[in-house]
A and B are shown apart, each in its own frame.
Chain A
Amino acid sequence: MKMTLRLLSAALLPLLAAHALAADSARNARLDDQTQLPKAPTRPVGQTYFQPPAEADIPNNAFGELVRRGQDLFMNTKALAPQYVGNEMNCVNCHIDRGRKANSAPLWAAYTMYPAYRKKNNKVNSFVERMQGCFQFSMNGKPPAADSEVMTALTAYAYWMSTGVPIGKAQPGRGFDEPPPPKGGYDIARGKAVYGKQCALCHGDDGAGKKVGATSVFPPLWGKDSYNWGAGMHRINTAAGFIQHNMPLGRGRTLSDQEAWDVAAYVNSHERPQDPRLVNGDIDEARKRYHADDGVNLYGVVVDGRKLGQGVQ
């Protein structure tokens, strides 16, 4: 009996694997969406941002366990779900304070806005797909399946954090609240100076960040262990918003619009892992399809005599 079972599973395994592959490529075909979020409504004067429930309010039952597991994964993605992460990043690196901080793309402002319809390509994007996008691009990894334990836990965490947010009503504090582009444009050389003074202490002159043993503490900003060329953060406008609100760490809102744009441009003028949507190794084609119309970015653009978007491994 045991023997036949074993035989049976041996025969089935390759079949199952082939099935998984097919599912993977079906998913990949849809991964064209780290496009920009719509601008969030501004916070009315005198009002606070939405306050998500306190950690102490997570119930002590099976649901609460799942929520806590989601929070642990969100903060320790590389350590707890290494099979899905291709760089040295964790979700919390860009979604500050465990995904709770306003203007750091908080989860409470996201969950109730999905499934989202996008007119541009007449597609509907689910919440899980949006998170899969962050795995594929921000984490330069392989997204977990929609029904996987990891996705279920992350979804439970976001659902719990959104307790009390009306469905489908955009909240102030969503996304990264980008500063307007400076009048004279941005300047990479000026950005380099800002970086040297305000950022290199933590993220390193080489942008590689800093680790303690195996654990990334100051996350990499460029190079092989950072987000890839398809990630939302590779847009200068998006990075400028994140940086202005949250960096230097603990001293957010101290950089001017100009400084935020300059330093974001400097960060995003470095090589990083290739955009997984690259078509036939053709950077220009990938720029035309995915980058030309995606905010302000340097993919496929020649900077200092070198075409960006080569990718690093």
Chain B
Amino acid sequence: MSLSPTRSLAFCLSASLLALPLQVGAADGEAIIQQGGANPAAMPCMSCHGADGKGMAAGGFPRLAGLPEAYIAKQLADFKAGRRENPLMQPIAQALGDAEVAAVAKAYAAKPKVNVKAGPVERPKEGSGAWLALRGAWDRHIPECTLCHGPSGVGVGDAFPPLAGQSAEYIEAQLRAWRGTPAQPAGKKTKAVAAVAPTRSNDPNGLMRHIAADLSEAEIKAVAAYFAGLGESTEPFDESQHRLR
């Protein structure tokens, strides 16, 4: 078999492309966090996600410290693919190579997880944020958030991220991103507002989107405030103890 000139050019090109990830194979996660990726568009993560990786509430920048490695890598892939849209984060994700994604996901996952104290059984008030978090709204097929996001919102496995440790601003933004907003017809004094399509559609098997879609604006605020209010404890938690529902 002889290769045509164009074919062999393509062959050379793809061979060198293949070699690329090998070069950055040794990508240093901590260096990406502090100085950014090889492509300058991949800005240093810490400039937004905080020096300690715990995020910055005011900017709506989420905590990354202690999130599951697979979850972080999945989110970066989702930003790249447009299943999750965000004007700040999408170009950054697109500028990260595969090896860089893997390295930075590993580095953030190795940082301390959010540490929430386990208390006695809570007695939430109906209609409060705590109620949604701990009881849900089963008449609307909404399980209690802690059933998927873990008792005290600490997260479960690789697919269910912690809500504890995230700011109210960020949690609200994500719920709205899944929900989008329905169109508003023109009123007497107001113009019609076009619908905003959801900007996040990356939940496995649609487990999260129908929940966000069914929450009212007041409920979004209340439940976000509940999880943000869990705070972080400095006392180590004994993992052999139960967390109560």
Contacts and interface: CB of A to CB of B under 8 A. Distances in A.
Interface of A: 54-56, 68, 72, 75-76, 78-80, 90, 92, 96-98, 100-101, 197-198, 201-202, 210, 212-215, 217-218, 248-252
A92 B245 contact: yes
Interface SS of chain B: loop
A210 B123 CA distance: 25
Interface string B201-245: 000111100110000000000000000000000000101111111
Given A56-B126, A250-B142, A217 B244 contact: no
Contact of A251 (B151, B157, B210, B241): B210
Contacts of A201: 159, 204-205
List the 9 shortest-distance A-B pairs measured between CB atoms, nearest first.
A79-B242, A213-B239, A97-B138, A75-B245, A250-B143, A212-B150, A215-B243, A215-B242, A76-B244
A215 B154 CA distance: 12
A54 B131 CA distance: 12
Given A213-B241, A214-B240, A249-B147, 15 more contacts: A54-B126, A68-B123, A76-B121, A80-B244, A96-B138, A97-B136, A100-B138, A101-B138, A212-B150, A213-B240, A215-B151, A215-B243, A218-B156, A249-B207, A251-B207
Nearest to B239: A213
A310 to B, nearest CB: 29
Given A97-B136, A252-B141, A217 B121 contact: no
Interface of B: 121, 123, 125-126, 135-136, 138, 141-143, 147-148, 150-151, 154-157, 159, 204-207, 210-211, 237, 239-245
B94 to A, nearest CB: 27
A92 B143 CA distance: 12
Nearest to B150: A212
Given A96-B138, A250-B143, A251-B205, A212 B151 contact: yes
A213 B156 CA distance: 10
A56 to B, nearest CB: 6
A92 B156 CA distance: 18
B111 to A, nearest CB: 19
B138 A212 contact: no
Contact of A250 (B126, B157, B207): B207
B29 to A, nearest CB: 25
B215 to A, nearest CB: 13
B214 to A, nearest CB: 10
Contact of B239 (A90, A202, A214): A214
A72 B119 CA distance: 13
A121 B27 CA distance: 71
Nearest to B238: A213
A55 B126 contact: yes
22 contacts: A55-B135, A56-B126, A68-B123, A72-B121, A76-B121, A76-B245, A92-B245, A97-B135, A97-B138, A101-B138, A201-B205, A212-B150, A212-B151, A212-B156, A213-B239, A213-B241, A214-B243, A217-B156, A249-B147, A250-B142, A250-B210, A251-B206
Contacts of B148: 202, 249-250
Contact of A213 (B142, B204, B243): B243
Nearest to A56: B126
Contact of B150 (A68, A72, A98, A217): A217
Nearest to A104: B138
Contacts of B211: 250
Contact of B242 (A76, A92, A101, A218): A76
A252 B140 CA distance: 11
Nearest to A98: B135
Q: Which of B125, B157, B239 gathers most chain A CB within 10 Å?
A: B157
Contact of A72 (B135, B138, B207, B244): B244
A212 B141 contact: no
B95 to A, nearest CB: 30
A214 B245 CA distance: 13
A68 B138 CA distance: 20
A248 B148 CA distance: 12
B205 A198 contact: yes
